[in-house]
Amino acid sequence: MPGVSQKEDHILLEGCLNNDRGIQKKLFEKYFAKMFRICLSYSGDRAEAKDILQEAFIKVFTGLDKFDSRGSLEGWIRRIVTNTAIDYFRQRKRLVYTATFPDEPEDDGNSGFLFQELNQDIILDYVRQLPDGARVIFNLFALDGLSHREIGKKLNISEGTSKSQYKRARGLLQKWLCEHEQDRQ
């Protein structure tokens, strides 16, 4: 029930704005799992994901007064998490968009395997192996639903670069997972 959730969010918000540490923890716990997954997807590394999440939630708590309560709190936190992740890589100068990948795959548009059957850590390991720039673009497109034009604007790259990086990241991930599946069989 979105109405109940929104009301609950408002109670949490008021408490957070009054610097009530208990309420802040409640808000954190409510959104932790969802946000942590996003961080994991952007980074592929649990320790790094925790760092990003921590940074993001500090921004959430210190910037809650800027949240327009008419909007969705989850959406607002999610945007902060995403932007914090991008900033995290940007600050470490890791957002490099390589023109070619070591073993560029063919994208047939068919995954040919089931994600659910694979070990989570193995998938995460492959996600982590993706170049940072390509991984961020893949997440922005596949996970956050941004268009290539929006991604280009956000990351200061051309639309074409965004498209090619996304395709290559997806293809590479697909290839690695297929190979893993074949080896396993």
Partner 1 sequence: MSNNAFDREYREWLQKLEVNKADSVWGGIEDQLDLIETWDRINTGLDRVQPQRRKIIPLPFLRIMEVAAAILILVMIPLFFLKHQNNTISTVAEQRIPETDSPGTVPVSPETATDPSSALTVSPAGGTAVSGEAIQFHDGTALPPGRTAGGIPETTESEKTDRVTDISRISGTAGMETIIAGLRETVTGDFTGLVASVIETTAPPKKSSGPFIRFQDAGLMYSYKNTWLLNYETRNGLNPSRLGNTLPTFHHDLGITSTIVFREKHDIGLEVLLMSETGQNYQQYINASFVNRKITLNYFKLQTWYMWNHRKIPGSTIAGVYFARLGMAEEIQGDLRFSVRDDYRNYDYGLVLGYRLDVPLFSNIVMYPGIRFNYNLMNIFEGHAGTMNIFKTTNNFTAGVNVTFAYSFR
Q: Which residues bind partner 1 (CB under 8 A)?
A: 6, 10, 13-14, 17-19, 21, 24-25, 28-29, 32-33, 36-38, 40-41, 46, 50, 53-54, 57-59, 61-63, 65-66, 68-70, 76, 79-84, 109-111, 114-116, 120, 123-124, 141-143, 145, 170, 173-174
Nearest approach, Cβ of residue 126 and partner 1 (Å): 11
Nearest approach, Cβ of residue 17 and partner 1 (Å): 6
Give dist(CA 8, CA 12) in Å, integer: 6
Encoding tokens for residue 47? Answer: 């320790």
Nearest approach, Cβ of residue 124 and partner 1 (Å): 8
Kindly give, in sequence order, each residue whose CB lies less than 8 Å from that of residue 59, ignoring residues fewer than 6 positions away.
80, 84
Nearest approach, Cβ of residue 92 and partner 1 (Å): 18
Q: Pick the closer one to partner 1 by CB: 59 or 128.
A: 59
Q: Pick the closer one to partner 1 by CB: 131 or 171.
A: 171
Q: Pick the closer one to partner 1 by CB: 1 or 33.
A: 33
Give dist(CA 182, CA 72) in Å, integer: 43
Whose tokens are 């009301």? That residue is: 7
Nearest approach, Cβ of residue 143 and partner 1 (Å): 6
39-68: b (≥16 Cβ within 10 Å) or e: bbbbbbbeebbebbbebbbebbeeebeebe
Length of the chain, please?
185
Give dist(CA 90, CA 42) in Å, integer: 13
